[in-house]
């Protein structure tokens, strides 16, 4: 694309390929994998920190301190969400993702040098900030580099890799001592920076910066083309024209608004509908009860009479999450977002209803010994069906439905 909006001739060689889109998705999701480690770290670590064998010089932590260590992740995540949209628009999707890796590196170093629980609270806050940025910028990055036919598949890998990180952390916690684990996990954000540094930023962001040549080169990279011949595919021409059209609309709206996001941008019919969809999906994601259930995995397994240890029960649930995320990744393009969300929501409602019925009957003093297996089955079913839709797809849909100009702010 020239500065006047015209398209180069003679830029393509061979046939397009989605290989580089998969490569970029793999590289950027090393960050979400690393964040998954942080999310799963408390499960095997808190019992160690509360025991007499605690590695902290200050001694075993209290229950309140353990709660603050857990909660600090959410505080950091909230702040990360607030600033990440501005960072992505100001510094680019690629640089924002790279900056998000730095708090993760610092957080694992703090685990290594920690002498009291306040080190760990700061560690979780920093890691939570990184996660808040991660869950905003990764869907935006993938949504802007992926072709329509595989966008849902690639976007759903965010939660899949995060769940993979949680499961790997559970397994590491069962295999390695507390002091060894941060040394292992420190390598992953460093690996992310090394790999992602070779990946170009998104074509749309580069065009926003008036880097027309870099934008064109980035699109060529992500579609698997290179310079060389006069053969230009119709699909690439169409996508290039669509990108140019989006940029023109964006440029006109920015000029009209004097380069500032205005209230009028947030109340257009498109924006209102997108906000309604996004708020409903994210509310369901947060209030479906799955996060609370995951925090009490060991308690549920113990009260049901299970012989599994706390670490093994966490590994079982982590594995179930992975299976659910895998189904979501495989089916998202075939079944569609809407159908998977409906099935997931109905499944959660059914599983929780049966679960609550069992708990209520037990609280009334009824003999439910014959049904002690029921909480485990319901718990596992709810986590599996939630991972298929409600826990994974809202991030995919949100990145797709938001108008381009307000995407950074809205997400």
**Rounded CA separation 411/402 (Å):** 8
How many percent of the chain have pLDDT more than 90?
32
pLDDT, tens digit, 9 for 90 and up, residues 86-136:
899 889 999 999 999 999 999 999 999 999 999 999 999 999 999 999 988
Say if residue 27's pLDDT is above 60: yes
Q: What b/e sequence results for 363-401 when a residue is b if at least 16 CB atoms lie within 10 Å of its CB, and e otherwise?
A: eeeeeeeebeebbbebbbbbbbbbbbbbbbbbbbbbbbb
- Helices and strands (H, E) in the chain, number of each type: 20, 0
Nearest Cα neighbor of 373 from 386, 361, 355 is 355
| Average pLDDT, rounded, for the chain | 82
How many percent of the chain have pLDDT more than 70?
80
pLDDT value of position 239: 62
The sign one gets for the Cα dihedral 243, 245, 251, 256 is negative
Say if residue 201's pLDDT is above 80: yes
**What does the DSSP assignment read for 218-255?**
HHHHHTT--SSBB---HHHHHHHHHHHHHHHHHHHHHH
Say if residue 6's pLDDT is above 60: no
pLDDT value of position 185: 96
**Rounded CA separation 405/260 (Å):** 10
* 402 in Cβ contact with 274 (< 8 Å): yes
Say if residue 259's pLDDT is above 60: no
Band the pLDDT of 401: cuts 50, 70, 90.
confident
Tokens 């189904």 — which residue?
327
Find the length of the chain: 411
pLDDT value of position 12: 42
pLDDT value of position 233: 56
* 409 in Cβ contact with 261 (< 8 Å): yes
pLDDT, tens digit, 9 for 90 and up, residues 304-326:
656 667 778 778 888 888 888 88
Nearest Cα neighbor of 322 from 108, 186, 170, 175 is 170
Say if residue 230's pLDDT is above 50: no
**Rounded CA separation 120/123 (Å):** 5
Distances (CA, A) of 31 to 27, 176, 203, 294, 350: 8, 22, 21, 22, 34
Region 346-360: what's the mean pLDDT? 91
Domains of the chain: 1-257 (1.20.1250.20)
**Rounded CA separation 134/140 (Å):** 10
């Amino acid at each position: 694309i020239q500065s006047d909006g015209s398209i180069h001739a003679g830029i393509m060689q061979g046939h397009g390929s989605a290989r580089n889109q998969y490569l970029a998705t793999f590289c950027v999701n090393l960050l979400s994998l690393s964040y998954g480690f942080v999310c799963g770290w408390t499960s095997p670590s808190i019992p160690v920190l509360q025991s007499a064998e605690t590695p902290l010089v200050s001694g075993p932590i209290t229950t309140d301190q353990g709660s603050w260590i857990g909660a600090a992740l959410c505080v950091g995540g909230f702040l990360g969400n607030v600033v990440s949209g501005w960072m992505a628009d100001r510094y680019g999707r690629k640089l924002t993702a790279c900056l998000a890796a730095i708090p993760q590196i610092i957080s694992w170093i703090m685990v290594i040098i920690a002498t009291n629980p306040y080190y760990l609270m700061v560690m979780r806050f920093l890691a939570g900030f990184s996660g808040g940025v991660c869950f905003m910028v990764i869907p935006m990055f993938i949504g802007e580099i992926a072709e329509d036919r595989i966008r849902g598949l690639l976007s759903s890998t965010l939660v899949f890799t995060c769940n993979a990180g949680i499961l790997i952390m559970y397994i590491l916690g069962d295999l390695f001592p507390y002091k060894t684990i941060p040394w292992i996990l420190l390598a992953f954000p460093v690996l992310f920076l090394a790999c992602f540094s070779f990946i170009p930023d998104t074509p749309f962001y580069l065009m926003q910066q008036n880097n027309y040549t870099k934008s064109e080169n980035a699109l060529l990279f992500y579609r698997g083309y290179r310079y060389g011949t006069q053969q230009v595919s119709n699909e690439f021409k169409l996508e290039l024209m669509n990108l140019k059209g989006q940029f023109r609309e964006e440029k006109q709206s920015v000029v009209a608004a004097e380069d500032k996001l205005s209230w009028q941008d947030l109340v257009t019919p498109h924006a209102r509908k997108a906000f309604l969809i996004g708020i409903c999906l994210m509310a369901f994601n947060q209030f479906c009860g799955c996060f609370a259930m995951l925090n009490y995995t060991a308690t549920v397994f113990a009260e049901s009479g299970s012989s599994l240890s706390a670490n093994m029960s966490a590994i079982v649930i982590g594995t179930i999450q992975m299976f659910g995320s895998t189904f979501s990744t495989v089916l998202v393009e075939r079944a569609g977002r809407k159908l998977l969300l409906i099935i997931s929501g109905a499944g959660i409602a059914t599983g929780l209803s049966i679960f609550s019925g069992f708990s209520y009957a037990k609280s009334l003093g009824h003999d439910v010994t014959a049904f002690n297996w029921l909480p485990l089955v319901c718990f596992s079913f709810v986590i599996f069906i939630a991972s298929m839709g409600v826990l994974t797809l809202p991030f995919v849909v949100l990145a797709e439905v938001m108008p381009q100009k307000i995407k950074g702010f809205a997400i």
